[in-house]
DNA sequence: CTAAATACCTGATGGC
DNA sequence: TGCCATCAGGTATTTA
């Protein structure tokens, strides 16, 4: 399921095929995604792509006229295809480019979205409230500490709140908390500044490493070039309930926090 | 205001 | 073989 590293891996993967190409056509096979695909996306036709950006888990394909905002939800993927390649099931949108290739949006569970705006995408209602990028300079322990005061909710839910910091999904939340030595169920407001410094560093490190490795493959994520990522074997706690902790050997525990499965080591995390 | 629950959706999996 | 129940989960929205 695409978290920030997978989205960034996708961005990097498709960028060289897209920049400076003109969008010749957009074929919509299924417009019923999380929100319907608006017909004004056709404004992008015959426009040259200036950049392929990212904000949080949103991909931004920008032309002079506007920006296509794509979210992969949890089962979405983008891939570069030849025009001769048969349409697969759940290939909902195709961008036909002037270099003769296709960008295909594929999303079995249709939790994702393909939107269009002719204004600054950062002012779009879905992006305007987002917290800092975890790999940017303004994201640090002080930021987490300041926002968390008086918060009673679990720290895991806190760091997964996109208004606090973007890009920390269920997998990397468990991984970051393990690395920082903090139990996921602990109240966000009761965590020290020192621990938040550790946590901010852990989030940075886990995400940066995953991006470097090309993203995690769990169920149906496929890199834009069709190859799976390689991060799965690096996971320390996620999905490892009952298995021994790689650091201390104690059994990894699973717990539902905020309706989401969470994993931690009772020996290494307090 | 906060925090928790819910909706959106389909494919993989396991039990019978 | 098929049918049903369960689970996966990002995030906007609704409810408490």
* Known active-site residue A57: yes
* Known active-site residue A94: no
pLDDT of residue A216: 53
Supply the pTM of this predicted model. 0.93
The per-residue pLDDT for range A54-90, each reduced to its tens digit, is 999 999 999 999 999 999 988 888 989 999 989 888 8
A151: the nucleotide nearest its CA (via C1') is: B2
Cβ-contact A98, A22 below 8 angstroms: yes
Annotated active-site residue in A3, A6, A94, A175: A3
Given a cut of 90, whether residue A217 has pLDDT beyond it is no
The per-residue pLDDT for range A80-119, each reduced to its tens digit, is 999 998 988 889 999 999 999 999 999 988 889 999 999 9
A259: the nucleotide nearest its CA (via C1') is: B5
Cβ-contact A262, A185 below 8 angstroms: yes
* Known active-site residue A193: no
Given a cut of 50, whether residue A252 has pLDDT beyond it is yes
What positions of strand C are covered by protein, i.e. any atom < 7 Å from a CB?
A: 7-13
* Known active-site residue A260: yes
Beta-carbon contacts of A137 under 8 Å, excluding residues fewer than 6 positions away, are none
Query: Who among residues 74-113 of A has its Cβ near strand C, under 7 Å?
Result: 74-75, 109, 111
The per-residue pLDDT for range A169-208, each reduced to its tens digit, is 999 999 999 999 999 999 999 999 999 999 999 999 999 9
8-state DSSP, A20: T
The per-residue pLDDT for range A1-32, each reduced to its tens digit, is 688 888 898 898 899 999 999 999 999 999 99
């Amino acid at each position: 399921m695409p978290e920030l590293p997978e989205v960034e891996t996708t961005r990097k993967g498709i960028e060289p095929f897209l920049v400076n190409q003109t969008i010749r056509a957009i074929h919509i096979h299924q417009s019923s995604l999380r929100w319907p695909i608006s017909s004004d996306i056709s404004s992008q036709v015959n426009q040259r792509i200036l950049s392929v950006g990212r904000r949080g888990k949103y991909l931004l394909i920008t032309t002079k006229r506007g920006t296509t905002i794509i979210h992969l939800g949890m089962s979405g993927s983008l891939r570069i295809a030849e025009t001769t390649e048969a349409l697969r099931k759940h290939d909902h949108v195709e961008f036909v480019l002037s270099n003769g290739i296709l960008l295909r949006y594929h999303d079995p569970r249709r939790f994702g979205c393909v939107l269009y705006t002719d204004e600054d995408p950062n002012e779009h209602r879905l992006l305007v409230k987002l917290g800092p990028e975890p790999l940017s300079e303004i994201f640090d322990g002080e930021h987490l500490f300041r926002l968390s005061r008086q918060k009673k909710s679990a720290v895991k839910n806190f760091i997964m709140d996109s208004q606090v910091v973007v890009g920390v999904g269920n997998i990397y939340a468990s991984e970051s908390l393990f690395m920082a030595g903090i139990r996921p169920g602990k109240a966000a407001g009761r965590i020290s500044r020192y621990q938040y410094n550790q946590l901010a560093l852990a989030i940075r490190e886990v995400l940066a490493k995953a991006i470097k490795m090309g993203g995690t493959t769990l169920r149906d994520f496929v890199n834009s070039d069709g190859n799976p990522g390689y991060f799965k074997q690096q996971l320390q706690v996620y999905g490892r309930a009952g298995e021994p902790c790689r650091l201390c050997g104690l059994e990894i525990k699973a717990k539902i926090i905020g309706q989401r499965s969470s994993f931690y080591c009772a020996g290494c995390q307090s």
